Amino acid sequence: MRALTIAAAVALAATALPAFAHADPAPASAEPVLALPAPTGPLPVGSTSLHLKDSSRADPWVPTERRELMVSLFYPAFPTAGPRTRYLTAEESAAMLAESDLTHLPSDIFSRTRTHSAADARPFPRPRGLPLVVLSPGYTKPRATLTALAEDLASHGYGVAVIGHTHENYGTSFPDGRFAGCASCEVDHLPEFWEKLARGRAADVSFVLDELLKRPGLVDPTRIAMGGHSAGGGSTVTAMQADARIRAGFDIDGRVYTPVPDTGFTRPFLFLGKYQPNSPVPACTPWQDDFGRLAGWKRWLSLTGAHHASFTDLGLFADQLGVDIGATVSGERAQAITREYVGAFLDTHLREKRRPVLDRPSPHYPEVTFCG
């Protein structure tokens, strides 16, 4: 995606990578093409990239730099036959392959991934501004790995801002040609590391909200939610405690780094995690303490047969590459369930639309256990 300023966007108007090492090398002539599932909503989707710089804050991992972010913005758009969103740049694709031990694949495979959003498409106007969902990816993962979820939410009328947390992923390409690697990967990952990461991500989210809300009509300031996968999900509680503008939050398979306070946390929250039937740990275990402290609307769901990566695009790609990541539920099925329950949560708390799928177990989703 071409990087735009916020003003231009408005004028147009959003823990480990699975071990792929045991994949059989594809023949050189095969040139595999990865693809995301189509969005399920009725609206065409557009996207653009925002390059934002917080001149008031030093980068937490490279203190000699100011904090600089790339953000992917997805939104409902007018139909267009224009080019689709680029999943990753060629350099980002090569970096992710190198770190995932997938160097037998074409180095640009992720830059050729088929998406369903139109790059820089003209936004469909919304008089109140869009309900906004801020997404934060897992540690070391590019923001693009949440594209399937982001495109689906946008097709249902949401604006979605997916934040690339610089120096916390395999690599970030900036519009001027610079490439930022994973400086945080060189730091010892002691408990205080994760606490620092959560605080930094909370600051990133607040900064992105500040920038988006400067433009009247882009975002409805009364309808903002945040969530993410792994470290991104685990940082959501921290961000919500730091920023009252976040009305609702969800954590997809991420450990909470800043505990839920004993009292006063009344905003709606959803936990969505994995469960392997052969695991010695019961399905409803990881968030017991945090879930018990939530004082408002809350739900805890567990997806049987999922792997940590199943909730993201990486689970889809593993299936397409013929890689066994240890999941017994397919990547497409896991993505469909993630879309269904996250969408229902957001509809309930940002749009006040009751979604019965959140009330009780559904025969349509027998893999999902209600833990609370």
Which long-range CB contacts under 8 A does 173-180 form with residues at least 24 apart?
Answer: 173/70, 173/89, 173/91, 173/92, 174/3, 174/51, 174/68, 174/70, 175/2, 175/3, 175/49, 175/51, 179/91, 179/95, 180/68
pLDDT of residue 30: 56
| CA dihedral over 112, 114, 115, 120, signed as positive or negative | positive
Reduce the DSSP state of residue 185 to 3 states and report it.
helix
Radius of gyration of the chain (CA): 19
Question: Could you tell me the two tokens for 346?
Answer: 């957001």
pLDDT digits (tens, 9 = 90+) for 287-345: 999 999 999 999 999 999 999 999 999 999 999 999 999 999 999 999 999 999 999 99
pLDDT band for 99, please (50, 70, 90 cuts): confident
Neighbours of 244 (CB within 10 A): 8
CB proximity list for 55: less than 8 A, separation 6 or greater: 66
Tell me the backbone φ, ψ of residue 164, rounded to 5 degrees. Answer: -95, 110
Contact 223, 351 (CB under 8 A): yes
H/E element, 241: helix 236-242
Res. 2 pLDDT band, cuts 50 70 90: very low
User: Which of the four pLDDT bands, split at 50, 70 and 90, describes residue 170?
Assistant: very high
Question: Cα 334 vs. chain centroid, distance in angstroms?
Answer: 15
Q: What share of the chain is helix, strand, coil (3-state, %, to 5)?
A: 30, 25, 45
Q: Which CATH superfamily is domain 3-263 in?
A: Alpha/Beta hydrolase fold, catalytic domain (3.40.50.1820)
Q: What would the pLDDT profile of 20-30 be if each residue is shown by its tens digit?
A: 333 333 344 45
Give the Cα separation of 135 and 226 in Å (integer): 6
Provide the whole-model pTM: 0.91
Q: Report pLDDT for 29.
A: 43
* Alpha carbons 145 and 228: distance in angstroms, whole number: 11
Say which amino acid occupies 330: S
Integer Cα distance of 364 and 355 in angstroms: 14
Is the confidence at residue 235, as pLDDT, over 90? yes
The mean pLDDT of the chain is 90
Question: Are the C-beta atoms of 304 and 334 separated by less than 8 Å?
Answer: no
Query: Cβ distance 272 to 339 under 8 Å?
Result: no
In the chain, the percentage of residues whose pLDDT exceeds 70 is 92
- Phi, psi (degrees; rounded to nearest 5) at 318: -60, -45
Strands 248-252 and 269-275: parallel
Query: What digits encode the pLDDT tens for the residues 175-188?
Result: 999 999 999 999 99
187 alpha carbon, distance to own chain's centre: 23
- Phi, then psi, of 233 in degrees rounded to 5: -70, -40
Phi-psi region of 140 (alpha: psi -120 to 50; beta: other; left: phi over 0): left
Calculate what percentage of the chain has a pLDDT beyond 90.
80
CA distances from 341 to 111, 154, 310, 346, 350 (A): 29, 15, 14, 9, 14
| Separation in Å, CA 236 to CA 58, 69, 196, 197, 319 | 21, 18, 13, 11, 29
Per-residue pLDDT at 298: 97
